[in-house]
Amino acid sequence: MSDDAEDRKVAHQSDVVSPMGTPVCSHCGTPIETTEWFPIITETTESESVVLHSFCDETCQDEWNQS
């Protein structure tokens, strides 16, 4: 990844979190430090709206996927 790509990723994440403020982990509920990278999963519901699930780290992402 180049530095340019990194900049775009950070900008995208701030877009994602702005409607609801500080995101919390969808698995353990811990507030996520948005200045660092964190995993995000997008899920399309039956009504075709997109739901974002944020996780504090990949361990929570894996555990959430398995539940």
Residues that bind Zn ion (CB under 5 A): 25, 27-28, 30, 56, 60
Reading the block at residue 30, the tokens are 């811990």
Closest separation between CB of residue 62 and Zn ion, Å? 11
CB of 18 to Zn ion, least distance (A): 21
* Strand (E) or helix (H) holding 8: helix 3-17
**Smaller CB distance to Zn ion: residue 6 or 31?**
31
Tell me how far apart the alpha carbons of residues 17 and 23 are, in angstroms, rounded to a whole number: 6
Give the integer Cα–Cα distance in Å for 41 and 37.
Answer: 13
Cβ closest to Zn ion, residue 7 vs residue 31: 31
CB 37, min distance to Zn ion, A: 14
